[in-house]
Amino acid sequence: MDFEEFVLAASVGDLADEERAREHADAVEFRMDLADDPLAALDDYDGELPVIATNRPTWEGGEAEEGGRVNALVEAAQTESVAAVDVELASLVGSDENDVDGDGGGEDDAAVDERGNGAEVLAAARAADTTTIVSSHDFEGTPPLSELASTLGEACSLGDVGKLAVTAEDRGDALDLLRVTHEYSAAGMTVATMAMGEAGRHTRPVAPLYGSRIGYAPVDSEDATAPGQYDAATLRRLVADLR
């Protein structure tokens, strides 16, 4: 999937909503963790918009339990209808993906097992020529600028797109998020960034001006999957007006 230009992804838990998303969205983010039988839904999908598959775990704001989560995402990455797959950065820490010297170093095995080995998803996606989005979400706040830069840089180094979402408590947090967005985009990295929460809500239409390549929005505002999301029609209008 090509993220050379901004992509508005409509977040859905039911692929039947894709038809309603077409008017404003460029893709659908299928939240597998919100669907009853996500793999069957992907097999049956005949929509027009490309699919970004996400199977968000409970430890990063989703509803997927660890049992079978990674295997389902591996299968999704190899499904014809899936153009991109989202893998949590935390599931790659300490995995073979980061074990460049082969000594097994990094986070202890128990922690990796608890989170699931995201490296399996990356490998499956690359074999299938499926774009990878490596993501990090902080629902508690916004880390210091140096930590934001480090996290986004690591995500970019592992995936085709590095995604960073934080929770802004004030305008300073929003400014820090926009700063790292600009710096990594200017350096040629493909990034997707947003600050969640009311104080960061404006970053969703503003971040694309600083280089963010993906915006996420529900078709209807009541179906928001993260704090501060605009509905797809509003986000499309705001991004277009600012440009």
Sheet holding 191-196, edge to edge: 191-196, 161-167, 131-137, 82-88, 51-54, 27-31, 7-12, 214-218
Task: Count other Cβ atoms within 10 Å, centred on residue 83.
Answer: 18
Residue 225 assigned ligand-binding role: yes
Q: What is the DSSP letter of 64?
A: B
Q: Is 163 in the active site?
A: yes
Q: What is the DSSP letter of 101?
A: T
Residue 31 assigned ligand-binding role: yes
Residue 201 assigned ligand-binding role: no
The length of the chain is: 243
Q: Is 137 in the active site?
A: yes
Residue 193 assigned ligand-binding role: no
Q: Please give the structure tokens belonging to residue 240.
A: 């277009």
Closest alpha carbon to 20 in 237, 240, 231:
231
Q: What is the DSSP letter of 35?
A: S
Residue 139 assigned ligand-binding role: no
> Can you tell me whether residue 184 is helix, strand or coil?
helix
Closest alpha carbon to 55 in 78, 80, 81, 29:
29
Annotated binding-site members for 3-dehydroquinate: 29-31, 56, 204, 225, 229
Which are the catalytic amino acids? 137, 163
Annotated binding-site members: 29-31, 56, 204, 225, 229
